[in-house]
Protein backbone atom coordinates (compact mmCIF):
# COMPACT_ATOMS: atom_id res chain seq x y z
CA UNK A 1 0.00 0.00 0.00
CA UNK A 2 1.90 3.45 -0.25
CA UNK A 3 3.42 7.23 -0.30
CA UNK A 4 3.57 10.14 -2.66
CA UNK A 5 6.03 12.94 -3.06
CA UNK A 6 5.51 16.24 -4.70
CA UNK A 7 8.58 18.18 -5.70
CA UNK A 8 8.41 21.56 -7.33
CA UNK A 9 11.35 22.57 -9.43
CA UNK A 10 12.38 26.13 -10.09
CA UNK A 11 11.32 27.62 -13.44
CA UNK A 12 13.87 27.42 -16.23
CA UNK A 13 14.43 30.27 -18.66
CA UNK A 14 15.27 29.72 -22.33
CA UNK A 15 15.15 31.26 -25.80
CA UNK A 16 15.13 34.91 -24.82
CA UNK A 17 15.64 37.61 -27.45
CA UNK A 18 19.05 39.37 -27.40
CA UNK A 19 17.51 42.55 -26.05
CA UNK A 20 14.28 43.34 -24.22
CA UNK A 21 11.93 46.21 -24.99
CA UNK A 22 9.04 47.57 -23.03
CA UNK A 23 8.65 48.36 -19.37
CA UNK A 24 10.17 45.67 -17.11
CA UNK A 25 7.72 43.68 -14.98
CA UNK A 26 8.18 42.94 -11.30
CA UNK A 27 9.57 39.51 -12.24
CA UNK A 28 12.53 41.17 -13.94
CA UNK A 29 11.40 40.00 -17.41
CA UNK A 30 9.83 42.23 -20.07
CA UNK A 31 6.33 41.73 -21.46
CA UNK A 32 7.87 40.78 -24.77
CA UNK A 33 9.96 38.05 -23.19
CA UNK A 34 7.09 36.66 -21.18
CA UNK A 35 4.80 36.58 -24.20
CA UNK A 36 7.11 34.13 -25.98
CA UNK A 37 5.75 30.55 -25.63
CA UNK A 38 9.25 29.21 -24.95
CA UNK A 39 10.45 32.06 -22.76
CA UNK A 40 9.42 30.63 -19.41
CA UNK A 41 8.93 26.93 -18.76
CA UNK A 42 7.46 25.79 -15.46
CA UNK A 43 7.85 22.16 -14.42
CA UNK A 44 7.08 20.41 -11.16
CA UNK A 45 7.99 16.85 -10.24
CA UNK A 46 5.52 14.80 -8.18
CA UNK A 47 6.59 11.54 -6.56
CA UNK A 48 3.89 9.26 -5.16
CA UNK A 49 4.75 6.42 -2.78
CA UNK A 50 2.20 3.98 -1.46
CA UNK A 51 3.00 2.79 2.09
CA UNK A 52 4.70 -0.57 2.58
CA UNK A 53 2.79 -3.79 3.10
CA UNK A 54 0.81 -3.83 6.36
CA UNK A 55 0.10 -6.77 8.65
CA UNK A 56 -3.47 -6.90 7.34
CA UNK A 57 -2.20 -6.81 3.75
CA UNK A 58 -0.11 -9.82 4.65
CA UNK A 59 -3.21 -11.52 6.06
CA UNK A 60 -5.18 -10.52 2.91
CA UNK A 61 -7.82 -8.64 4.89
CA UNK A 62 -9.84 -5.57 3.94
CA UNK A 63 -8.03 -2.88 5.91
CA UNK A 64 -9.55 0.52 5.15
CA UNK A 65 -9.31 2.88 8.12
CA UNK A 66 -8.17 0.15 10.53
CA UNK A 67 -4.87 1.30 12.02
CA UNK A 68 -2.64 -1.75 11.60
CA UNK A 69 1.18 -1.46 11.47
CA UNK A 70 3.61 -2.31 8.69
CA UNK A 71 4.62 -5.95 8.35
CA UNK A 72 8.30 -6.94 8.27
CA UNK A 73 8.06 -7.02 4.48
CA UNK A 74 6.44 -3.57 4.55
CA UNK A 75 9.27 -2.12 6.62
CA UNK A 76 11.73 -3.48 4.06
CA UNK A 77 9.69 -2.00 1.18
CA UNK A 78 9.67 1.41 2.86
CA UNK A 79 13.46 1.33 3.27
CA UNK A 80 13.88 0.27 -0.37
CA UNK A 81 11.67 3.12 -1.56
CA UNK A 82 13.62 5.56 0.61
CA UNK A 83 16.91 4.41 -0.88
CA UNK A 84 15.57 4.89 -4.41
CA UNK A 85 14.55 8.45 -3.58
CA UNK A 86 17.93 9.13 -1.96
CA UNK A 87 19.84 7.73 -4.94
CA UNK A 88 17.91 10.09 -7.24
CA UNK A 89 18.68 13.09 -5.03
CA UNK A 90 15.15 14.00 -3.91
CA UNK A 91 14.63 16.41 -1.01
CA UNK A 92 11.49 17.96 0.53
CA UNK A 93 10.29 20.97 2.53
CA UNK A 94 6.95 19.67 3.85
CA UNK A 95 5.55 16.17 4.38
CA UNK A 96 1.91 15.08 4.01
CA UNK A 97 0.45 11.79 5.20
CA UNK A 98 -2.73 10.26 6.60
CA UNK A 99 -3.63 9.58 10.24
CA UNK A 100 -2.86 5.86 9.87
CA UNK A 101 0.42 4.52 11.22
CA UNK A 102 1.32 2.33 8.23
CA UNK A 103 1.55 5.48 6.09
CA UNK A 104 3.11 7.55 8.89
CA UNK A 105 5.79 4.92 9.56
CA UNK A 106 6.61 4.70 5.86
CA UNK A 107 7.03 8.47 5.79
CA UNK A 108 9.27 8.45 8.88
CA UNK A 109 11.53 5.83 7.30
CA UNK A 110 11.85 7.91 4.13
CA UNK A 111 12.52 11.14 6.00
CA UNK A 112 15.12 9.45 8.20
CA UNK A 113 16.92 7.98 5.18
CA UNK A 114 16.94 11.41 3.51
CA UNK A 115 18.01 13.19 6.74
CA UNK A 116 14.81 15.25 6.67
CA UNK A 117 13.14 14.33 9.97
CA UNK A 118 13.08 18.03 10.91
CA UNK A 119 10.64 19.14 8.21
CA UNK A 120 6.96 19.83 9.07
CA UNK A 121 4.56 16.88 8.81
CA UNK A 122 0.85 17.39 8.08
CA UNK A 123 -1.44 14.50 9.09
CA UNK A 124 -4.94 14.57 7.62
CA UNK A 125 -7.81 12.09 7.53
CA UNK A 126 -8.48 13.19 3.94
CA UNK A 127 -5.45 11.11 2.90
CA UNK A 128 -6.74 7.99 4.69
CA UNK A 129 -7.37 4.79 2.78
CA UNK A 130 -10.85 4.15 1.38
CA UNK A 131 -13.27 3.01 4.10
CA UNK A 132 -14.47 -0.51 3.30
CA UNK A 133 -17.54 -0.40 5.52
CA UNK A 134 -18.82 -3.78 6.70
CA UNK A 135 -16.02 -5.53 4.78
CA UNK A 136 -13.27 -4.14 7.03
CA UNK A 137 -11.43 -6.91 8.85
CA UNK A 138 -12.72 -9.69 6.57
CA UNK A 139 -10.34 -11.94 4.61
CA UNK A 140 -10.59 -11.08 0.92
CA UNK A 141 -10.45 -14.62 -0.40
CA UNK A 142 -12.97 -15.92 2.15
CA UNK A 143 -15.27 -13.03 1.21
CA UNK A 144 -14.98 -14.14 -2.44
CA UNK A 145 -15.90 -17.70 -1.49
CA UNK A 146 -18.94 -16.49 0.48
CA UNK A 147 -20.31 -13.79 -1.85
CA UNK A 148 -18.76 -14.71 -5.20
CA UNK A 149 -15.90 -13.10 -7.08
CA UNK A 150 -18.16 -10.88 -9.18
CA UNK A 151 -19.87 -9.30 -6.17
CA UNK A 152 -16.60 -8.78 -4.29
CA UNK A 153 -15.02 -7.18 -7.37
CA UNK A 154 -17.98 -4.79 -7.55
CA UNK A 155 -17.48 -3.83 -3.91
CA UNK A 156 -13.71 -3.70 -4.19
CA UNK A 157 -13.12 -2.24 -7.64
CA UNK A 158 -16.20 -0.43 -8.94
CA UNK A 159 -15.78 3.34 -9.10
CA UNK A 160 -19.02 4.51 -7.49
CA UNK A 161 -20.58 1.47 -5.73
CA UNK A 162 -19.52 1.28 -2.05
CA UNK A 163 -19.53 -1.91 0.06
CA UNK A 164 -22.28 -2.36 2.66
CA UNK A 165 -21.92 0.25 5.44
CA UNK A 166 -20.69 -0.58 8.92
CA UNK A 167 -23.01 -0.02 11.87
CA UNK A 168 -22.59 3.08 14.02
CA UNK A 169 -21.86 0.77 16.95
CA UNK A 170 -19.05 -0.95 15.02
CA UNK A 171 -15.44 -0.65 16.15
CA UNK A 172 -14.70 0.29 12.52
CA UNK A 173 -16.95 3.37 12.50
CA UNK A 174 -14.52 6.32 12.74
CA UNK A 175 -16.99 8.34 14.81
CA UNK A 176 -16.12 6.03 17.73
CA UNK A 177 -12.38 6.71 17.42
CA UNK A 178 -10.90 9.65 19.39
CA UNK A 179 -8.47 10.15 16.51
CA UNK A 180 -11.34 11.78 14.58
CA UNK A 181 -12.93 13.74 17.43
CA UNK A 182 -12.22 17.04 15.66
CA UNK A 183 -13.73 15.94 12.32
CA UNK A 184 -17.42 16.86 11.82
CA UNK A 185 -19.47 13.69 12.11
CA UNK A 186 -21.28 14.33 8.85
CA UNK A 187 -17.92 14.00 7.06
CA UNK A 188 -16.99 10.65 8.61
CA UNK A 189 -17.83 7.63 6.41
CA UNK A 190 -19.70 4.43 7.19
CA UNK A 191 -18.42 3.10 3.85
CA UNK A 192 -16.85 4.59 0.72
CA UNK A 193 -16.58 4.04 -3.00
CA UNK A 194 -13.48 5.14 -4.87
CA UNK A 195 -15.49 8.15 -6.06
CA UNK A 196 -16.20 9.25 -2.49
CA UNK A 197 -12.53 8.70 -1.61
CA UNK A 198 -11.51 10.82 -4.59
CA UNK A 199 -13.93 13.59 -3.59
CA UNK A 200 -12.49 13.95 -0.06
CA UNK A 201 -8.87 13.61 -1.19
CA UNK A 202 -9.19 16.25 -3.92
CA UNK A 203 -10.37 18.83 -1.36
CA UNK A 204 -6.92 18.60 0.24
CA UNK A 205 -5.13 18.42 -3.11
CA UNK A 206 -6.82 21.45 -4.67
CA UNK A 207 -7.06 23.68 -1.59
CA UNK A 208 -3.77 22.93 0.17
CA UNK A 209 -1.31 20.90 -1.89
CA UNK A 210 -1.50 22.56 -5.29
CA UNK A 211 -0.94 26.09 -3.90
CA UNK A 212 1.94 24.74 -1.79
CA UNK A 213 3.59 23.10 -4.81
CA UNK A 214 3.14 26.21 -6.95
CA UNK A 215 4.68 28.34 -4.19
CA UNK A 216 7.92 26.43 -4.65
CA UNK A 217 7.66 24.10 -1.64
CA UNK A 218 8.89 20.56 -2.23
CA UNK A 219 6.28 18.19 -0.77
CA UNK A 220 6.28 14.47 -0.06
CA UNK A 221 3.04 12.58 0.56
CA UNK A 222 2.86 9.12 2.09
CA UNK A 223 -0.58 7.70 1.36
CA UNK A 224 -2.60 4.60 0.47
CA UNK A 225 -3.56 2.52 -2.53
CA UNK A 226 -6.96 4.06 -3.13
CA UNK A 227 -6.06 7.67 -2.31
CA UNK A 228 -3.19 7.39 -4.80
CA UNK A 229 -5.48 5.77 -7.38
CA UNK A 230 -7.79 8.75 -6.89
CA UNK A 231 -4.94 11.19 -7.49
CA UNK A 232 -3.55 9.53 -10.62
CA UNK A 233 -7.09 9.26 -11.98
CA UNK A 234 -7.35 13.03 -11.56
CA UNK A 235 -3.89 13.78 -12.97
CA UNK A 236 -4.05 11.45 -15.96
CA UNK A 237 -7.74 11.87 -16.72
CA UNK A 238 -8.29 8.12 -16.40
CA UNK A 239 -11.90 7.05 -16.96
CA UNK A 240 -14.03 5.65 -14.14
CA UNK A 241 -14.08 2.32 -16.01
CA UNK A 242 -10.32 2.08 -16.53
CA UNK A 243 -9.38 3.11 -12.99
CA UNK A 244 -11.10 0.00 -11.61
CA UNK A 245 -8.36 -2.13 -13.21
CA UNK A 246 -5.42 -0.01 -12.03
CA UNK A 247 -3.22 -1.30 -9.22
CA UNK A 248 -0.43 0.64 -7.49
CA UNK A 249 2.30 -1.47 -5.83
CA UNK A 250 3.49 -0.88 -2.28
CA UNK A 251 6.68 1.01 -1.51
CA UNK A 252 7.64 2.01 -5.06
CA UNK A 253 8.10 5.74 -5.80
CA UNK A 254 6.00 6.88 -8.76
CA UNK A 255 7.34 10.03 -10.43
CA UNK A 256 5.18 12.55 -12.30
CA UNK A 257 6.33 15.64 -14.13
CA UNK A 258 3.65 18.36 -14.25
CA UNK A 259 3.43 21.58 -16.22
CA UNK A 260 2.38 24.94 -14.78
CA UNK A 261 -1.28 23.88 -15.07
CA UNK A 262 -0.61 20.73 -13.01
CA UNK A 263 -1.07 18.60 -16.13
CA UNK A 264 1.26 15.58 -16.50
CA UNK A 265 4.03 15.39 -19.08
CA UNK A 266 4.27 11.81 -20.36
CA UNK A 267 7.51 10.00 -19.51
CA UNK A 268 9.15 7.36 -21.65
CA UNK A 269 9.16 4.57 -19.05
CA UNK A 270 5.53 5.06 -18.02
CA UNK A 271 3.32 1.99 -17.65
CA UNK A 272 -0.03 2.81 -19.29
CA UNK A 273 -2.50 4.24 -18.46
CA UNK A 274 -0.17 6.26 -16.21
CA UNK A 275 2.06 8.99 -17.60
CA UNK A 276 4.35 8.96 -14.57
CA UNK A 277 7.18 6.45 -14.18
CA UNK A 278 8.12 4.14 -11.33
CA UNK A 279 11.63 4.24 -9.92
CA UNK A 280 13.62 1.02 -9.82
CA UNK A 281 13.39 -2.21 -11.82
CA UNK A 282 10.22 -2.12 -13.94
CA UNK A 283 9.97 -5.92 -14.14
CA UNK A 284 9.90 -6.10 -10.35
CA UNK A 285 7.28 -3.33 -10.31
CA UNK A 286 5.07 -5.29 -12.71
CA UNK A 287 5.43 -8.37 -10.51
CA UNK A 288 4.27 -6.37 -7.48
CA UNK A 289 1.29 -5.07 -9.44
CA UNK A 290 0.41 -8.67 -10.29
CA UNK A 291 0.57 -9.61 -6.61
CA UNK A 292 -2.10 -6.99 -5.81
CA UNK A 293 -4.34 -8.38 -8.57
CA UNK A 294 -3.98 -11.93 -7.17
CA UNK A 295 -5.42 -11.04 -3.76
CA UNK A 296 -8.99 -11.95 -4.75
CA UNK A 297 -8.39 -14.74 -7.28
Q: How is 175-227 classified by DSSP, letter by letter?
A: GG-GGGTTS-GGGS-SS--HHHHHHHHHHHIIIIIHHHHHTT--EEEEE-HHH
Tell me the catalytic residues: 51, 129
56 is in an annotated binding site: yes
In whole angstroms, what is the distance from residue 94 CA to residue 212 CA? 9
CB contact set of 244 (below 8 Å; sequence gap of 6+): 157, 158, 159, 194
- 225 annotated among ligand-binding-site residues: yes
CB atoms within 10 A of CB 67: 18
| Model pLDDT, residue 193 | 96
Q: Is 226 annotated among the ligand-binding residues?
A: yes
Task: Report pTM.
Answer: 0.82
Tell me what pLDDT residue 13 has. 35
Q: Quote the CA–CA distance of 123 and 109 in Å, as a whole number.
A: 16
Residue 277 annotated as binding site:
no
- Alpha carbon separation from 244 to 193, 240, 249 (Å, rounded): 11, 7, 15
pLDDT of amino acid 219: 84
Mean pLDDT in consecutive groups of 10 residues from the start of the chain, 297 residues:
42 36 36 39 84 93 96 97 95 93 97 96 97 94 90 89 96 96 97 97 96 87 95 96 92 89 91 92 86 58
CB contact set of 9 (below 8 Å; sequence gap of 6+): 43, 44, 45
- 51: annotated binding-site residue? yes
Residue 41, pLDDT score: 62
β-strand pairing of 94-97 with 44-50: unpaired
Amino acid sequence: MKVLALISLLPTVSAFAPAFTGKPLSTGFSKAALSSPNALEMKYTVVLVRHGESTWNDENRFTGWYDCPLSEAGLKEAHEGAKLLKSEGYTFDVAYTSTLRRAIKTLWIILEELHLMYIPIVNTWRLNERHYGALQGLNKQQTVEKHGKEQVQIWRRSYDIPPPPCEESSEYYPGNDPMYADVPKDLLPYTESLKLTEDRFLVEWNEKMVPLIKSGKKVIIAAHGNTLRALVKHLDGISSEEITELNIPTGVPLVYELDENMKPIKQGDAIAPLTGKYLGDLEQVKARIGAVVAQTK
